[in-house]
Amino acid sequence: MSKIIAVTMGDPAGIGPEIIIKSLAEGELSGASAVVVGCVQTMRRILALNIVPAVELKIIDKPADAVFAPGVINMIDEPLEDPQALKPGLVQAQAGDLAYRCIKKATALAMAGEVHAIATAPLNKEALHSAGHLYPGHTELLAKLTNSRDYAMVLYTDKLKVIHVSTHIALRKFLDTLNRDRVETVIEMADVFLKRVGFTHPRIAVAGVNPHAGENGLFGDEEITIVSPSVEAMKAKGIDVYGPCPPDTVYLQAYEGQYDMVVAMYHDQGHIPLKLLGFYDGVNITAGLPFIRTSADHGTAFDIAWTGKAKSESMAISIQLAMQLA
């Protein structure tokens, strides 16, 4: 039996519904064992615009009822409070609430073993918060729903892979909370993750915090007091890890094949190089959950929502990767 992937709609006012249909309607994923959790009425509105390939929506109560066939998208309906009031491209509380409920439902299915992985379309954090769900993003929400203490965000492309020590936190606060325990945990998570996806002997680079990795304390001492001891501790455990590496060059070295993954210290240190090199095919993965979760590595793109202009490559790759890793 094929492993079933739950695909969550994300914010229905964004490009999520469009890129899900595009991903599952054609090409390698047509007929794939994916079940969409989202608002059926929203999907029907998108189909009526004739901006996506025509498909049949099969409404099911549970994943076991799905019939996987080309041209068919199986859906578990998670309805909006007022589907006709939804306006594309705008922050709306009911859209944020739907995105939350889709994740909650998909997580429950995964924890019960009814699906084997989750691929998420993007949500809007402002809409999520306006609905009363005060999470920084998918990563933290999924960690809460699964009671996961140690987790990390991975950005993944064929040629560059990055895992983050911190993500949705102010830079000033990051510097106050950086510690050896977290850095060592993320290095270990990087090693486990890479082995899970097929690297037999992963090579991991750890970026420094400061310019030029601190220049031996000239530009800050975090490399001396935190990063270097963490790297040495992980080397003692048998992990092939290097660092602290100058952040301005380590990503190019990894991109050219010297390392298999970079440990980034904070959000933009990891996101900027990966999005520059892999904006359309990058995938976001949450390491440390009880199940595989992947996501398109971009936002809701409200400016082009429901226009047919959205590119679906990242969403399609995230579904394919979820199937591969499940």
Q: Transcribe 203-245 into DSSP letters.
A: -EEEE-SSGGGGTTTTT-SHIIIIIHHHHHHHHHTT--EEEEE
Record the tokens describing residue 25, joined without a space.
Answer: 């309607």
Domain co-membership, 9 together with 135: yes
Q: Is 282 among the domain residues? A: no
pTM assigned to the model: 0.87
pLDDT of amino acid 2: 79
Residue pair 309/14 in contact (Cβ under 8 Å)? The answer is no
Q: Is 252 among the domain residues? A: yes
Record the tokens describing residue 263, joined without a space.
Answer: 């440990």
Domain co-membership, 103 together with 181: no
Domain co-membership, 104 together with 175: no
* Cα 297 to Cα 320: distance, rounded to the nearest angstrom: 14
Q: Is 308 among the domain residues? A: yes
* Cα 189 to Cα 300: distance, rounded to the nearest angstrom: 28
Domain co-membership, 216 together with 158: yes
| Amino acid, res. 99 | A
Domain co-membership, 82 together with 53: yes
Domain co-membership, 133 together with 179: no
CA distances to 91, 164, 208, 219 from 212, in Å: 40, 19, 7, 8
Domain co-membership, 100 together with 80: yes
Weakly modelled stretches of the chain, pLDDT under 70: 1
CATH at residue 71: 3.40.718.10
pLDDT of amino acid 1: 55
Query: How many domains does the chain fold into?
Result: 2
Residues in Cβ contact with 268 at an 8 Å cutoff, skipping those fewer than 6 apart: none
* pLDDT tens string 115-170: 999 999 999 999 999 999 999 889 899 999 999 999 999 999 999 999 999 988 99
Burial 252-288 (b: 16+ CB within 10 A, else e): eebbeeebbbbbbbbbebbbebbbeebeebbbbbbbb
Domain co-membership, 193 together with 141: no
| Amino acid, res. 138 | H
pLDDT of amino acid 33: 96
Domain co-membership, 17 together with 109: yes
Q: Is 284 among the domain residues? A: no
Q: Is 101 among the domain residues? A: yes
Domain co-membership, 260 together with 141: no
Q: Is 65 among the domain residues? A: yes
Q: Is 283 among the domain residues? A: no
Domain that holds residue 199: 152-273
Domain co-membership, 258 together with 140: no
Record the tokens describing residue 164, joined without a space.
Answer: 């983050």
Domain co-membership, 141 together with 15: yes
